[in-house]
Each structure stands twice: as C-alpha cells, then as structure tokens.
Amino acid sequence: MKTTRDQITLETTGRKFYANNGILGIGEEADHLSEGYDGGFGPSTRWDDNWDESSSEYTHEEVNEIYEAMVARWAKWRDKQLSLKSAINIEHESE
C-alpha cells in the first residue's frame, strides 16, 4: 500500500482511493474503513480513479494488503511511543 498526501494506492491491484492526509481508520465494529476523520474509504465510496461498477468490493489481495499495512502502521506507532517513553524515563533516572 503506497500512501501519498491524499491518496492510497493498493499495489496488488493498482486501485487508487482518496484518503485525506493519508489517514485510514477502522471502527470498533470492524465493518467499514474510513479516511481522514469523517469519510468513507474503499470501492463503495466511488473515489477510485479506475471505478468499475462491477468491482464494488475489495479483492482478497486488497484485504490482505490493507491489513498488513495497517498492522505495520500500528507497530511503528507503538515503537515510537515506547521509545519516547524510554527516553523520558532514562532522562528522569539521571537527574
């Protein structure tokens, strides 16, 4: 999954979707994805540059690609937060 400022391109299929600031999220019920802070994301939103009425669902490859990319994003966030917390704790211990 390649992200630019306002677009996500799924590398498995080449489909492109609008995503405000490259933000992609999922609700608690895991029944849909959203982009930015309030928009829908995916084939049913018709933001796809290559919109094809017959492909209104994600392919298996797209689902796996999105899943892997989001797991990697959350892991990166976790690692940054833990690294920051460790740095703060080291700074306080040396005082």
Backbone phi, then psi, for 82, in 5-degree steps? -70, -35
SS3 28: coil
Residue 48's CB is within 10 A of a number of other CB atoms, namely: 18
In angstroms, the CA 33 to CA 25 distance is 6
Q: Which residue type is seen at 12?
A: T
For residue 93, pLDDT over 70 is answered with no
CB 69 within 8 Å of CB 1? yes
CB 69 within 8 Å of CB 41? no
Per-residue pLDDT of 52-73, as tens digits, reads: 444 568 899 999 999 999 999 9
